[in-house]
Structure 1
Amino acid sequence: MTRLTFDIIGRDETVDVDIQRLYNAGYAGRDQEQVRLHIDELAALGVPAPSTTPSLYPVSPYLARQTGLVDAQHAQTSGEAEWGVVIAGPRPEDVLLTAACDHTDRALEVHGVAWSKNAGPDVLGRRAWRLVDLGDRVDRLRLRAWVGAGRVLIQDGRVGDLLSPSSWLDVLRERGEHEPGVALISGTIPMIEGVDQFADRWEVELLDEATGETSRVVYDVARMPEPIG
């Protein structure tokens, strides 16, 4: 279990949440035809195709982090621009929305996507909206990521490019898991071709252009020492 603390955007309050269960969505684009094309591209790189889309991967809850540093075992790891929903309590207004970055082991991904999701942390922002405060603006929130010290843009899209937070909350309800302490990370948007994802710094921003308010994740990636043996 991990305790996360969120400063609530637009309200003078802070919310603590003990993460009991954590899920990563995958292949979660709203245009599932484009998702199938992406699956074919990944299959050519050796990444096994999912048995169904969208997919949902249980992740160890201790991997939910709010940190500025991610330790990586090798050079083939990278983040993904995502949003996260965190259920902080029993009321509808207790569902929080924040920026998130799923740091994934790409070398392990070719052996199993679920394994790769458990090999790195899900880094969540320290600022979050109460989802009810966003209303129908949520789809229009801009989701971007930059890599490296030079802040090279690698992803740029909208929450509406992905399956909605409400649709995933419905999935949790159907599974009997819409409960306090459950967090779900959204899956990601396409990366810009030609940008090296294997960077030593990742930044993800979720921007409400109507108000200028943002939730951000920023962290450095540090290589661990070489193993002995």
Structure 2
Amino acid sequence: MDIAFNCKDESITLTINSVVVAGWTGRNLAAVQQHIDELAELGIAPPSQIPLYYRVSTAMLTQSESIEVLGEGSSGEVEPLLIRAGGKTYFGLASDHTDRDLEAYSVAASKQACAKPIATSLWDFDDIADHLDDIRLRCWIDEKGKEVLYQDGTLAGIRPLADLCTGAGISDGTAMLCGTFAAIAGVRPAQSYRMEVSDPHSGKTIALSYSVVALPIIA
């Protein structure tokens, strides 16, 4: 699948043949356990190993400003996005939107059930490689008509991206969502998300916003 992006003020088109969603990627094992515990409250079984690398269809990637999901039990997560294409590595922003109800049955199935919004802009990975731990990701959700900070952290809280690439066996034509941080006040659904990754060294940011339309579950 070919997807258009903006990188260094130029339009580029990258061919993506496979998508990996890395899970349980926290560098701090206590924080990982916190995320496992909060999901356990939703009836979701703990992972068989840490980290795990789930596969989803390339068709799940979307740059649409709105996604449709089945029912009211899904939620998004801000995540760094890596894309290897044409012999280069690019860094972007994505949301691992997941069906939490289905996750209680199968995490792998839940990952495939929802579209994965991705930002339209990318950075050249080489431009940030020497200060990755300083890169900050944040997510806000619309809750009762008010924007609330939902997630906040730096890449210092996620396993080194090079290690994740090695573990997943990333090759040319692969996009990988690289994991996330625990949600502030717990994982929960929302009608809209606003996400941002910022580089304090350059002052540059990548933004991603999308709304969620819940379709009725018909029995």
| TM-score (normalised: structure 1) | 0.88
- 1:226–1:169 CA distance, 2 compared to 1 (3 A): closer
The residue that corresponds to 1:14 in the other structure is 11
Are residues 1:146 and 2:143 paired? Answer: no
> Which of the numbers 63, 68, 72 marks the counterpart of 2:60?
63
CA drift of 1:41 comes to 4.3
- Residues 1:170 and 2:166 are matched in the alignment: yes
Q: Could you say which residue in structure 1 is the equivalent of 2:177? A: 185
Give the drift of 1:226.
4.9
Q: 2:39, 2:68 → 1: CA distance?
A: 25
Deviation of 1:15 (Å) = 1.7
Q: CA deviation at 1:139?
A: 1.4
Q: Give 1:37 deviation, angstroms.
A: 4.4
Deviations 1:81-123 (A, max 9, x none): 1111011212xxx111001101110100100111110000111
Partner of 2:188: 197
Of residues 62, 74, 98, the one that matches 2:71 is 74
1:131 to 2:114 alignment = no
Corresponding residue for 1:210? Answer: 201
The one-letter code of the counterpart of 1:137 is H
CA shift, 1:29, in A, is 0.1
Deviation string 1:129-178 (CA, Å, 9 cap, x unpaired) is 11001122221111000001532110010012111222122224xx3x41
Selected match of 2:49 from 30, 47, 52: 52
Task: Give the Cα separation in 1 of the matches to 2:42 and 2:139.
Answer: 23
Kindly provide the amino acid, as one letter, of the partner of residue 3 in structure 1.
D
How many residue pairs match? The answer is 217
Structure 2 residue runs without a partner (length 5+): none
Confirm or deny that 1:224 pairs with 2:212.
Answer: no
Task: Give the distance between the partners of 2:39 and 2:212, measured in 1 at CA.
Answer: 24
Distance 2:217 2:109 in 1: 21
RMSD: 1.7
Return the alpha-carbon distance in structure 1 between the equivalents of residues 45 and 155 of structure 2. 26
Deviating more after overlay: 34-43 vs 201-210: 34-43
Letter in 1 for 2:141: V
SS of equivalent residue, structure 1 residue 39: helix
Normalised to the residue count of structure 2, the TM-score between the two structures is 0.92
CA separation in 1, counterparts of 2:85 and 2:3? 10
Describe the shift of the 1:40–1:191 C-alpha distance in structure 2 as closer, same or farther (beyond 3 A): closer
8 Å CA contact 2:93–2:207 kept in 1: the answer is yes
Within the candidate set 110, 123, 126, 1:116 is matched to 110
- CA shift, 1:44, in A, is 4.3
- Rate the CA distance shift 1:130–1:62 in 2: closer, same or farther, 3 A: same
Q: Structure 2 vs 1, CA of residues 165 and 15 (structure 1 numbering), >3 Å: closer, same or farther?
A: farther
SS of the counterpart of 1:116?
A: helix
> Does the residue aligned with 1:35 lie in a helix, a strand or coil?
helix
Q: Which runs of 4+ in 1 moved over 6 A?
A: none
